[in-house]
Structure 1
């Protein structure tokens, strides 16, 4: 699955199709850094898109599976052929440090 290989479908459209029982199949497709979702309905295949119109990637099966189950798609395939472990986003050490300080401050205030 490449970004240009398939047309995309939005979360809202997928949600409505799943609710109507129109989804005929789904597959979690491994890519560099995560898994994309490809769904089959009405004789076509579409990749789930992000809000920015790109193919949405889930960092792991642990995040993709609950998403599909929440939509009512309990049965799906997994194609890990193209999966390569990696990060979806660049690390943000500045945010990690800010969160550490916030959490420490909250713990200290609770002790007082």
Structure 2
């Protein structure tokens, strides 16, 4: 069966690993596909392509080295075929336009986390050296009640 033809039925990765544990996989072929590499296994007279997680589509590895490592290390097949007939690395656009925005948000979150931790540490140091005064619960209750009353007065003054 050539790799340019329709791929055979699929098998999920966990089942393939169980087949490997049972040492029933007889052969493996790494198949070049548009945008990556698929893996086909043979056990008995059955051929199946490893599926992507929770899909009915073949799993594609971006490069041949990672596909080969999967076949050798996970499936335990040291000798396998490679069919690059249908391989076209440029067939799939893998760019992620949202990456820059996601990275920017991650850096902002990390910076905020550093700032927040520094503020907490300054307060703890201030409590330890006496430069920050702790407020007793009763005093805090009076402050909160006064603030609440002030907010209610400002809300009442607003036109509806």
What TM-score comes out, normalization by structure 2 length? Answer: 0.58
Q: Which residue matches 1:82?
A: 86
- The Cα offsets for residues 26-46 of structure 1, whole Å up to 9 and x where unpaired, read as 000001101111101011211
**Does structure 2 conserve the Cα–Cα contact (< 8 Å) formed by 1:35 and 1:60?**
yes
- Structure 1 residue runs of 4+, over 3 Å off? 1-5, 87-90, 103-107
Cα distance in 1 between the residues matched to 2:107 and 2:79: 39
Q: Which residue matches 1:59?
A: 62
Distance 1:87 1:95, change over 3 A: farther
Deviation at 1:73, TM superposition (A): 2.1
Determine helix, strand or coil for the equivalent of 2:41.
Answer: strand
Matched positions, count? 111
Q: Which moved more, 1:77-86 or 1:24-33?
A: 77-86
Q: Which residue matches 1:102?
A: 106
Cα distance in 1 between the residues matched to 2:110 and 2:79: 42
Q: Which moved more, 1:66-75 or 1:23-32?
A: 66-75
Instruction: Name the structure, 1 or 2, with higher relative contact order (CA <8 Å, separation 6+).
Output: 1
- Structure number with the higher helix fraction is 2
Q: Which has the larger radius of gyration?
A: 2
Q: Which runs of 5+ in 2 are unaligned?
A: 119-160
**Does structure 2 conserve the Cα–Cα contact (< 8 Å) formed by 1:24 and 1:40?**
yes
Does 2:76 correspond to 1:72? yes
Q: Which moved more, 1:81-90 or 1:58-67?
A: 81-90
Distance 1:57 1:99, change over 3 A: same
